[in-house]
Amino acid sequence: MLQTGLMMNRPLLISAVIEHAAAQYRDVEVVSRETHGPLFRYTYADCAKGARKLANALAGLGLAPGDVVGSIAWNNHRHLEAYYGVSGSGMVIHTCNPRLHPQQLIYIINHAGQKAMLFDATFAPLIKGIAPHCPSVKHWICLSDAAHMPAIEGIDPLIGYDALTAPCSDDFTWPEFDENTAAALCYTSGTTGHPKGVLYSHRAIVLEAMAGCMPNVLAVSCRDTILPVVPMFHINAWCIPYGAPMSGAKLVLPGPRLDGESLYTLMEDEKVTISAGVPSIWQGLLAYVEQNQLRFSTMRRTGVGGSAMPQALIARFADEYQVEVRHGWGMTETTAVATMGTLTPRDLALPREQQHAIVARQGKSVFGVDIKVVDEAGATVPRDGSTQGELMVRGPWIVRDYFKGERSPLQGGWFPTGDIATIDAQGTMQIRDRTKDVIKSGGEWISSIDLESAAVAHPAVAMAAVIGVKHPKWDERPLMFIAPKPGQTVDKEELLAFLADRVAKWWLPDDVVFVDSLPVGGTGKVQKEELRKTHGGVFR
Ligand code: AMP
């Protein structure tokens, strides 16, 4: 007969994270880029006070546990206080992606039944447009001091965050409740149909934040300074705003300035050791560093995910700048990181190029997450690194049901990700494609991701995207789009010859379209839908 363990059953709550930082790392700094430009700095002890003040302020507005409070904001200290003040009070912070189409924003705000909205001044024009269509939102709060408040016609009163919280007490007793209580809400970007809401629990976030700090994941400790470029409005900035205070790491929040120069300067000035973001950010950063012949003096590693990190970029970071890339995979439905790789001693014995090839895969599952790949009949395929199928995941921070969803997305207790992947004998997972992006040619699959990564290795190529275009004989054939680096050119024949050395001959694109830039969506991914609309005809 099983026995019950005799340990305390203390709930895993988000309020405990900031209070831990305030108590154990009280003087560790949080540095934040204000929306109007300058840097703001204070400590975890101050941040905890700010979160408690906000909790008092929200209660003063009549908001109650269970209410949904939205945010449309950059990575900054007021947003950080909201992460704790809102969730810590038992309310739900709904992080809205400002890059969504306004109609989608209106849809998600209404769907969430949001009562208040916290937003950065940058988004004042957006707020002006959507506010009349969001009747449930009674309080519009601009994350600003008095001097930088915008005027928004039609919103009266427009509340200023500093004016609201300044008079409030910094004494607040965080309520204790079940750790499965909802803490945060984030909607998928929804390329087809309406966005779907993922409602994260306190437990899921706390566990995921702990997992994210582990040595094989981002390896965050109190000796680090971490700069999350990944936005706080998208999958919880990979839980770094929770993991950093948990570990006592100095936290640097870049605000709206995400260009290569601003990031580099911030990294150097604040002695950043770890960063995290999507590949396009690192492309911008490297371009700046290369053009200006700069070096990183403190940066040691960077977490990358959201879309595939090309091997060529991994190699440049590692070989030329001694910055280790930790390449991971996750989705809105997985709270943050579900897989991430770091090289094992066995990998480190391999030649450098093979090491980079391993990093270019999406890594091992983080402890707590189970992964498997299944075929069309739902049977698990072998872990041989080549048999591909749909990636399935399960774990304590993986979605079970969508918010107000009619039917659980789960299949036999696993979440079907819609990603096509392989897993090798060492457990390393590799994303080959999205189910909807994969190209089927003559009955065989061509990986658009592999083709894109191969093209980006060309020195004149900044970005590449591949879509499948209907073909009378082969069913589908790849069409490649290339955005060259500024001031550089590359011709089609040369590019195809370059690719021919790197991919199977039958994978070579049937045509290459050169463009100035590629359409990039709200979460940093190339909008292949747009490319299909303009170029998705039929090859002859
Ligand atoms: P989102 O929910 O917007 O974060 O998008 C999640 C999707 O991004 C995943 O299902 C993948 O298709 C894609 N994705 C995330 N990380 C990676 C990665 N490292 N490589 C390739 N695709 C990725």
Tokens read off for 37: 């430009």
Confidence class for position 534, pLDDT limits 50, 70, 90: confident
Instruction: Write down the pLDDT at residue 494.
Output: 93
| Chain centroid offset of residue 361 CA | 17
Does pLDDT of 217 surpass 70?
Answer: yes
Residue of 29, 128, 268, 445 marked active site: 445
Give the percent of the chain with pLDDT over 90. 85
State the Cα angle at 237 between 121 and 452, rounded to 5°.
105
Task: State whether 388 and 427 are in the same domain.
Answer: yes
> Cα of 523 to ligand 1 centre, how many Å?
9
Does pLDDT of 536 surpass 90?
Answer: no
**Quick check: is 188 catalytic?**
yes
Q: Assess if residue 540 is contained within a domain.
A: no
Name the domain count of the chain: 3
> Cα of 305 to ligand 1 centre, how many Å?
7
Task: State whether 421 and 523 are in the same domain.
Answer: no
Mean pLDDT of the chain: 95
Instruction: Write down the pLDDT at residue 312.
Output: 94
Range of the domain at 530: 439-535
> Cα of 329 to ligand 1 centre, how many Å?
6
Start-to-end C-alpha separation, the chain:
69
Separation in Å, CA 183 to CA 191, 205, 206, 209: 25, 8, 10, 14
DSSP per residue, 25-73: STT-EEEEE-TTS-EEEEEHHHHHHHHHHHHHHHHHTT--TT-EEEEE-
Last residue of a domain, one of 388, 416, 434: 434
Q: Assess if residue 37 is contained within a domain.
A: no
Q: Which residues line ligand 1 (CB under 6 A)?
A: 188-189, 235, 305-308, 327, 329, 331-332, 362, 417, 419, 431, 434, 523
> CA-CA distance, 341 to 344, in Å (whole number)?
9
**Quick check: is 445 catalytic?**
yes
> Cα of 134 to ligand 1 centre, how many Å?
30
Nearest Cα residue to atom 1 of ligand 1: 331
Last residue of a domain, one of 188, 219, 250: 219
Residue of 188, 335, 339, 523 marked active site: 188
Nearest Cα residue to atom 16 of ligand 1: 306
Task: State whether 376 and 525 are in the same domain.
Answer: no
By residue count, the chain amounts to: 540
Task: State whether 424 and 497 are in the same domain.
Answer: no
Last residue of a domain, one of 219, 249, 282: 219
Q: Assess if residue 424 is contained within a domain.
A: yes
> Cα of 313 to ligand 1 centre, how many Å?
18
> In CATH, what number is assigned to the domain containing residue 162?
3.40.50.12780
CB 348 within 8 A of CB 318: no
pLDDT digits (tens, 9 = 90+) for 26-52: 999 999 999 999 999 999 999 999 999
Task: State whether 499 and 394 are in the same domain.
Answer: no
Instruction: Write down the pLDDT at residue 438.
Output: 80
| Chain centroid offset of residue 212 CA | 13
Going 53 to 58 to 62 to 64, the CA torsion angle's sign is negative
Q: Assess if residue 355 is contained within a domain.
A: no
The atom number, within ligand 1, closest to the CA of 235 reads 4
Amino acid in position 22? A
Task: State whether 390 and 484 are in the same domain.
Answer: no
Q: Assess if residue 6 is contained within a domain.
A: no
Task: State whether 192 and 58 are in the same domain.
Answer: yes
State residue 438 phi and psi, 5-degree precision. Answer: -65, 145
Instruction: Write down the pLDDT at residue 475.
Output: 86
pLDDT digits (tens, 9 = 90+) for 478-510: 999 999 998 999 999 999 999 998 888 889 999
HEC letters along 95-110: ECCCCCCHHHHHHHHH
Q: Assess if residue 331 is contained within a domain.
A: no
Residue of 271, 436, 440, 470 marked active site: 440
Whole-prediction pTM value? 0.91
pLDDT digits (tens, 9 = 90+) for 357-414: 999 999 999 999 999 999 999 999 999 999 999 999 999 999 999 999 989 999 999 9
Name 302's bridge partners.
275, 325
**Quick check: is 440 catalytic?**
yes
Name 324's bridge partners.
301
